[in-house]
Amino acid sequence: MSHEAVLHGHDDHSHEHHDTFLTKYVFSQDHKMIAKQFLITGMVWAVLGGLMSVLFRLQLGYPEASFPWLESLLGKWAKGGQITPEAYYALVTTHGTVLVFFVLTAGLSGTFANFLIPLQIGARDMASPFMNMLSYWFFFAASIVMLSSMFVETGPFSGGWTAYPPLSALGDASPGSKSGMDLWIIAMALFVVSSLLGGLNYIATILNMRTKGMSMTRLPLTIWALFFTAVLGVLSFPVLLSGLILLIFDRNFGTSFYLSDIFVNGVGALSNEGGSAILYQHLFWFLGHPEVYIILLPAMGMVSEIMSINSRKPIFGYMAMLGSLFSIAVLAFLVWAHHMFVTGLNPFLGSVFVLLTLLIAVPSAIKVFNWLTTLWRGNIRFTPAMLFAIGFVSLFISGGLTGIWLGNAALDIHLHDTYFVIAHFHIVMGVASMFGMFAGVYHWFPKMYGRHLNNSLGYIHFWITMAGAYLIFWPMHYEGLAGMPRRYFDFSIWESFKQFAELNRFISTVSMIVFATQLLFLMNFFYSIFKGRRVTTKNPWLANTLEWTTPINPGHGNWPGEIPEVHRWPYDYSKDGVDFIPQDVPVGADETSH
Amino acid sequence: MSTTTTASPTEAKSWGGGKSPFNAEYGKVMMWYFLMSDAFTFGAFLISYGTVRFSTNGWPDPNAVFKSFPFAPEGVNAPLVFVSVMTFILIVSSVTMVLAVQAGKNMDKQGVVRNMILTIIGGIAFLSCQAWEWNHLFHEGAWWGANPFLNADGTASSTNFTNFFFTITGFHGFHVFSGVVINIIMLIMTLMDKFEQRGHYLMIEKAGLYWHFVDLVWVFVFTIFYLL
């Protein structure tokens, strides 16, 4: 059997295609175009999700004020210029769903896994370009369905992004539980298919398509991070799918998987028997916790890469970085019940989950240590990408420390569902990963579009966003410690929370400024695609990885001639007095080992 | 360089890039990862079933529920006989699938065609049996949200018995159906000489991996719904 022919039947990709508009920009099978499609769809979602947060922050900051323009924007959802409670919950829910899944999962790993994997491992394209295209179009379909759920008469789902039953299982439990919820489930099911098609491709490409000499320990850390991300996604999303299938049956076929003989206000006593709402929470968080790392790991990988390049130093502790990525990926599957300490979890079981949760601090600390030691005495270039990478580390430290608080069941029982939790996860995973994404966009924009982003706008964008992130989320720790619960529409009726009225207004004002700054970034992005400063050399950042050996605007197939062969790891910076030695340079006879 | 010296020579050879480390083409790697993923889907269902079952007092006795046989006189007591026949059919179809894959390795087109036809017949027979069983249970009053059977101790039983039964066997049946469709496509491609032209029958092998996985899942479904 001609096995070798099978294994390499893929290499004849480099010949010129005759592309029409449709095959080049719409149904493209070029991984670089698919990456851009993911990025721009993700950006649209980020603007929508961000706008939602501005709207509900408006309500939290000015609970008594009335804004007539809101009624013209939202219609019946803002009667008299004030957001209704139903609309508030819908906004909070959709903000969470959109940001977690559509921006920070598809927008982040969809973009950078597609863009970087073939370029950095030295492959012409993904293992299956067709499946890769399908992955984007399933994501697009999921986006359309999720978007359409916002326009149904009863509104989008409004029971929180975690979609716990009974609110999600009973159509009559709330306005958002009606057809908005059905569309939410369909969108998420399509999303799972998209992430499965993408993930299988990323794994197979990294394992099988590496160029000659690119052994696993010569892979850039971005690729390792994206590999573990893909494995996490492939193994955890199907569990959510199972959970959602059971939810569909509970909603439409009279089953009792998650429902039992409880009384629900507005519905009455249920005739169901024997189900368990907690079961859904287990299934959800078995995805939900790995999901946190699906969001975080790509950012970690890109930050490692960007830090090493811009410090002109090898990454400190490559194997330790790899080991910590691996142990985070394993632990990700063993800690889900720390989201459920207040569900009546057996305290002994709780203590096991506390231990496993706190164990994550070890690999996280290793990573932080290695990032800081990579910076240590480096010849640092403060490009916007580098600033965002350093910002990521700062946010990861401050958010990670509160994670140690929340991982303790004894503390979590008091802090659960307060603004402390909001502050924690927004800093450590939301904003931090967003910073990783910005770092990636600033760093790889020249490779994507052959032009540079405007640096001055980049610095303004970074400093306002960095200061804003802390000004928004730092005060929420105080509110949370004082017991202010999350997901409440209006705090002004409680005497004990009146002291926070000023603070809430402050947070809301900052969040609007930060949102406006992101529009500045979008302007920079779209302007620079067409009018930015042209890239004049193949390797503008003087980096070692293979993507900078391609032409400035690589065609489908990436390298016009042979794929370069790899002779060294990607972190030979400032070695033997040489600033940088790309991976495709053979090892010299008199070269020292690193 | 220390990164290369840590790997043993053979490791460096298979993992050093430029070729597949598992000597398996990408499609087979993808299929294995897909099967792992699908195992988690079924795992979530089966663990949910276990969780609910063990937090419920009493459960019907499968010997009392699954005791009919097609064309047998009314009231015949043949506990688990029919499902054993179903299981046997599915396992035999796995055997014919192995023979098809083996024939493919020997580039024996006739052998592939013969064994793929047998596998497809096995799959359709299994699905027909399942259709009969579902129909029979439905006429006894069982469906999603309706459970006419009593617990083993004679008390009224939770609807979650039928809820889980129809959901999980249905989901498995959907997988068998997909497998039959895939096998039919593979048969057509074989008849069109697609694999002869490619010089290998790897697609048959990948379809085989999926088919064996679906059989393996049935072994678990059979055990926990019919035996326990």
Contact state of A283 with B44 under an 8 Å Cβ cutoff: yes
Report the Cα–Cα distance between both ends of chain B, in Å, rounded: 58
Q: Which residue of B has its CA nearest to A215?
A: B16
C-beta separation of A119 from A447 below 8 A: yes
| Distance between CA atoms of residues B190 and A78, nearest Å | 62
pLDDT value for A18: 67
Neighbours of A494 (CB within 10 A): 13
CA of A468 to nearest chain B CA: how many angstroms apart? 40
Contact state of A122 with B55 under an 8 Å Cβ cutoff: no
| Distance between CA atoms of residues B40 and A282, nearest Å | 14
Residues 6+ apart with CB under 8 A from A528: A445, A449, A451, A452, A453, A454
Contact state of A283 with B48 under an 8 Å Cβ cutoff: yes
Instruction: Return the structure tokens found at A160.
Output: 């929180």
pLDDT band with cut points at 50, 70 and 90 for residue A13 = very low
List the 23-42 stretch of B: residues with Cβ below 8 A of A: 23-27, 29-30, 33-34, 36-38, 40-42
Phi, psi angle pair for B146, to nearest 5°: -140, 125
Q: Which amino acid is at A292?
A: V
* Residue A110, helix vs strand vs coil: helix
Q: pLDDT digit string (tens) for A239-263?
A: 999 999 999 999 999 999 999 999 9
CA of A256 to nearest chain B CA: how many angstroms apart? 6
Phi, psi angle pair for B113, to nearest 5°: -60, -45
Q: pLDDT digit string (tens) for A72-104?
A: 888 889 988 899 999 999 999 999 999 999 999
ipTM at complex level: 0.92
Mean pLDDT of all residues in chain B?
A: 91
Domain annotation for chain A: domains and CATH numbers: 26-580 (1.20.210.10)
| CATH fold of B25-227 | Four Helix Bundle (Hemerythrin (Met), subunit A) (1.20.120)
Contact state of A254 with B167 under an 8 Å Cβ cutoff: no
Name the residue among B33, B48, B160 with its Cβ closest to that of A203. B33
Q: Put residue A274 in one of left, alpha, beta given phi > 0 → left and psi -120 to 50 → alpha.
A: left
- Show the CA angle centred on residue A443, arms to residues A441 and A447, nearest 5°: 90
User: Domain boundaries in chain B?
Assistant: 25-227
A8 has a pLDDT exceeding 70: no
CA distances A478 to A394, A397, A410, A483, A500, Å, are: 20, 18, 19, 9, 9
| Distance between CA atoms of residues A448 and A553, nearest Å | 8
Q: pLDDT digit string (tens) for A310-365?
A: 999 999 999 999 999 999 999 999 999 999 999 999 999 999 999 999 999 999 99
Mean pLDDT of all residues in chain A?
A: 93
CA of A126 to nearest chain B CA: how many angstroms apart? 10
Task: Give me the percent of chain A exceeding a pLDDT of 90.
Answer: 86
Among the listed residues B71, B63, B60, B58, the one whose alpha carbon sits nearest the alpha carbon of residue B136: B71
* Residue B147, helix vs strand vs coil: coil
| Distance between CA atoms of residues B124 and B122, nearest Å | 6
pLDDT band with cut points at 50, 70 and 90 for residue A160 = very high
Size of interface A-B (CB pairs under 8 A): 173
Tell whether omega for the bond before A166 is within 30 degrees of 0, i.e. cis. yes
pLDDT value for A303: 97
A564 has a pLDDT exceeding 80: yes
Residues of chain A with Cβ-Cβ distance to B221 below 8 Å are none
Neighbours of A343 (CB within 10 A): 13
C-beta separation of A96 from A68 below 8 A: no
Q: Which residue of B has its CA nearest to A231?
A: B33
| Distance between CA atoms of residues A192 and A186, nearest Å | 10
C-beta separation of A61 from A508 below 8 A: yes
pLDDT value for A594: 57
| Distance between CA atoms of residues A176 and B101, nearest Å | 51
Kindly state whether B51 is in contact with chain A, defined as any CB-CB distance less than 8 angstroms.
Answer: yes
Q: Indicate the angle between helix axes B81-105 and B202-222, nearest 10 degrees.
A: 160
Higher pLDDT, B222 or A22: B222
Name the residue among B22, B48, B200 with its Cβ closest to that of A246. B48
What is chain B's pLDDT, residue by residue, as a tens digit (228 residues)? Answer: 444 444 444 456 788 888 888 888 899 999 999 999 999 999 999 999 999 999 988 899 999 999 888 888 777 888 899 999 999 999 999 999 999 999 999 999 999 999 999 999 999 999 999 999 999 999 999 999 999 999 989 898 999 999 999 999 999 999 999 999 999 999 999 999 999 999 999 999 999 999 999 999 999 999 999 998
Q: Which amino acid is at A187?
A: A
Name the residue among B33, B55, B164 with its Cβ closest to that of A200. B33
Name the residue among A128, A242, A593 with its Cβ closest to that of B26. A128
| Distance between CA atoms of residues A240 and A90, nearest Å | 21
